[in-house]
Structure 1
Amino acid sequence: MNTIVTIGRQFGSGGREIGEMVADHFGIKCYDKELLSRAAKESGFCEEMIQNHDERPTNSFLYNLVMDTYSFGYNSSSFVDMPISHKVFLAQFDTIKKIAKEEPCIIVGRCADYALSDLPNVLNLFIYGDEECKIKRIRERFSDITSNEKAREMMIKKDKQRQSYYNYYSSKKWGRADSYDLCINSSILGIEGTVKLIIQYIEDYEAAKKD
């Protein structure tokens, strides 16, 4: 496999689990929380700070200022004065680009599709699901979520955060079909069925590129 796969996902859709299973099939790495550890190590920021601002929206500073500062690097005066949320985004942005240059992999969330938009060998996927299935998965995953209503509240909050984060830093719209190469409802085929579909899609994509 020579393709890098990015996965955007609704909370509770199983996107992370699906990414890990696809990665296992191809014998490559899947980066989710692991990306945070590496971004912390390479940027010099503490991991707790990066985790606290991971995929969280921001209302301060303009998008253009963020990208201008990115081009200047970490030592610029503009970077020093930048809000922590922007510094975390840039650290992750940098790490995603480095990871993609090393080897084929799967990267979950963190605007990875946007960070890698200049590369030719990237497939961008979005995983969503039916509310009932997502609530069930959330309750199975989090033992302290004791009702469907609490699971729904958590789901809505997380998706709003991801949407705001993606729409702020990216030039595309989170969850909208034309932002991705393939959008899949994981509730229809289930986790394993969705994994099989993605594997077939990747294999067909790579075969088509060879023709």
Structure 2
Amino acid sequence: MKKTIITISREFGSGGHFIGEEVAKRMNIPYYDKDIIFQIAEKTGYSESFIQEQSEYAPSKNLFAYAFVGRDRTGSSLSDQVYVAQTQVIRDLAQKGSCVIIGRCADYILKDDPDAYHIFICGNESEKIARTQKLFDLSEKEARNMNQDMDKKRRLHYEYYTDRKWGDFKNHCMILNTSVLGLERCIQYIVELIEVAE
């Protein structure tokens, strides 16, 4: 079987995390999400909680915040150092063999890898809010705010480090709407995509 790397970018509350886990299980390949945080922490010496914040989310809801973060004499911020380490970790994981990688600009980092398939998972607002409410035991308003906040921070982080538009169809070989298709069908479509490609 040839090496297959699947990167999954997702809107908050769309079920992308679950889909990634299930695809990895069904294909019997490693799944990387939180493991990446641990490896970045090892490389940089920063705490895992700090890496968790810096590896996928903007420091605030405003792109200008990047201009005000502390930088060393080379002009590199802590966020930049985390991104460099994250890039290396993701490339190393892809080098090892087939896997599913969730978020963290992996679709951009591996954009030139011929073995990589880039998937974007989205959903309709009402379903995403309902899923977040259930997962985190929140009110509808709290869930809506959480979804918007997390997506905004993901988008800003992605666009700052990649110079590409987050969720742009041109950067993915498949975009799946879980509200229209359901989680199970999305999982099946990804697995079938890989089977056909092989």
Verify same fold: TM over 0.5.
yes
Cα distance in 2 for partners of 1:48, 1:186 equals 29
The alpha carbon displacement at 1:106 in A equals 0.6
Q: Give me the CA root mean square deviation.
A: 1.8
Cα distance in 1 for partners of 2:79, 2:46 equals 12
**Contact 2:7–2:106 (Cα < 8 Å) also in 1:** yes
- Aligned residues with identical type, % of pairs: 39
The alpha carbon displacement at 1:191 in A equals 1.1
Q: Residues 164-203 of structure 1: matches in 2 within 5 Å? A: 164-203=156-195
Could you say which residue in structure 1 is the equivalent of 2:107? 113
Query: In structure 2, what residue type is equivalent to 1:195?
Result: I
Unmatched 5+ stretches in structure 1? 62-75, 207-211
The alpha carbon displacement at 1:183 in A equals 0.5
Could you say which residue in structure 2 is the equivalent of 1:97? 91
Could you say which residue in structure 2 is the equivalent of 1:33? 34
Could you say which residue in structure 2 is the equivalent of 1:163? 155
1:105-162 Cα distance to aligned partner (Å, 9 max, x none) = 011111001111221111000000011111111011102x1x2111111101110011
Query: In structure 2, what residue type is equivalent to 1:97?
Result: R
Cα distance in 1 for partners of 2:145, 2:163 equals 28
Could you say which residue in structure 2 is the equivalent of 1:66? none
The alpha carbon displacement at 1:77 in A equals 6.3
The alpha carbon displacement at 1:43 in A equals 3.0
Q: How many residues align?
A: 189
Query: In structure 2, what residue type is equivalent to 1:57?
Result: A
Unmatched 5+ stretches in structure 2? none
Could you say which residue in structure 2 is the equivalent of 1:205? 197
State the TM-score, normalizing by the size of structure 2: 0.89
State the TM-score, normalizing by the size of structure 1: 0.84
1:169-200 Cα distance to aligned partner (Å, 9 max, x none) = 11321011112111010112211121011111
Q: Residues 8-157 of structure 1: matches in 2 within 5 Å? A: 8-57=9-58, 59=64, 60=66, 78=74, 82-143=76-137, 145=138, 147-157=139-149
Secondary structure, counterpart of 2:129 in structure 1: helix
Query: In structure 1, what residue type is equivalent to 2:163?
Result: S
**Worse-superposed segment, 127-136 or 39-48:** 39-48
The alpha carbon displacement at 1:52 in A equals 2.6
1:24-60 Cα distance to aligned partner (Å, 9 max, x none) = 0011111111110111113333222212323122543
Query: In structure 2, what residue type is equivalent to 1:46?
Result: S
Cα distance in 1 for partners of 2:78, 2:163 equals 21
